[in-house]
Amino acid sequence: MPPIPPLDLNPPPGTRVFITGGAHGIGRATAEAYAARNARICILDRTPVKDAPDDWLCIQGSATSAEETEAAFAAMDRRWGGVDVAFANAGMAANKPSLDLTEADWQQVLDLNLTGVFLTCQAAGRRMIPRGAGLILATSSIYGLTAGANRAAYTATKAAVANLIRTLAIEWGPHGVRVNAIAPGYVETEMVMALVQRGTLKTDTMKARTPLARLGKPQDIAAMAAFLGSPGAAWINGAVIPVDGGWMANGGPE
Ligand SMILES: NC(=O)c1ccc[n+]([C@@H]2O[C@H](COP(=O)([O-])OP(=O)(O)OC[C@H]3O[C@@H](n4cnc5c(N)ncnc54)[C@H](O)[C@@H]3O)[C@@H](O)[C@H]2O)c1
């Protein structure tokens, strides 16, 4: 019998990666994880990317804009001739009791967490389908898989992202394009730490429900994003994968 080839669990060198919200947090850690494997990185973020290596393509703009998203993909086309991995990651929270949620709050979260994700998926799909290859990732959340009080816009959009990627996985899988989502638990990023500072979230309570008894690090999520871009993940499609220290498994409070 011929020897079984070793598993390849890293993205191929030179992978062309597009990431929204890559200036900070999970997006930034994912850019670094891919870059450590000699990937080519393009970031679309509404804030500037600090301390980026010279060869990253950093574009300031909003993932909520079809025009700016398309322009960022077009810049990748010009520089590297296309995209291999597109990560629709930018998102925001609006933690408020539902009766206090304004229409503007609601719309802002929908625009970024749902429409923005769709726009990135569509721009990526238009390029990947004719080539017959590619990976699209989105950041859902544990709150896309379950619900929680005072998070109406967030839970609604993150659940919608989960079903959006399943739908795209069905449509685009036959064309060689995989579409998956990661559902992070509580991760120590600016988004979560701002809510902790405001007293909206409590670190001790978040840890208490997490069997691994700590919050996630952005690198914990980046590791999954990088694995999904590896040859070892070739049969993973239409999946919404929790990376949460066991939070989802625990039915306890908070
Ligand atoms: N941190 C967590 O605990 C957690 C848990 C589950 C899911 N998530 C999701 O992970 C994703 C990343 O969040 P994070 O925790 O890394 O947050 P973060 O605040 O550290 O980073 C978010 C990034 O998105 C950028 N951004 C915001 N609006 C944008 C826009 N309109 N266009 C382009 N970029 C924009 C910000 O400038 C920032 O760089 C979000 O979708 C979030 O909902 C986070």
pLDDT digits (tens, 9 = 90+) for 67-111: 999 999 999 999 999 999 999 999 999 999 999 999 999 999 999
239 belongs to a structural domain: no
252 belongs to a structural domain: no
Average pLDDT over residues 157-182: 98
| CA neighbor of 210 nearest in space, from 252, 150, 181 | 252
215: left (phi > 0), else alpha (psi -120 to 50), else beta? beta
251 belongs to a structural domain: no
CATH number at residue 81: 3.40.50.720
Domain count, the chain: 1
What type of residue is 60? Answer: Q
3-state DSSP call for residue 74?
helix
Whose alpha carbon is nearest atom 31 of ligand 1? Answer: 62
Q: What pLDDT is recorded for position 84?
A: 98
**For residue 5, what pLDDT band results from cuts at 50, 70 and 90?**
confident
Q: Domain containing 187: what range?
A: 16-234
Contact status, residue 131 vs residue 83, Cβ threshold 8 Å: no
- Which residues lie across from 180 on neighbouring strands? 137
Show which residues are catalytic: 154
Contact status, residue 29 vs residue 49, Cβ threshold 8 Å: no
125 belongs to a structural domain: yes
Q: What pLDDT is recorded for position 4?
A: 84
246 belongs to a structural domain: no
Q: Which two tokens stand for residue 248?
A: 């989802």
**For residue 161, what pLDDT band results from cuts at 50, 70 and 90?**
very high
Residues in contact with ligand 1 by the CB-under-6-Å rule are: 20-21, 23-27, 44-47, 62-64, 89-92, 112, 139, 141, 184, 186-187, 189-192
Cα dihedral 23, 203, 141, 189, rounded to 10, equals 0
3 belongs to a structural domain: no
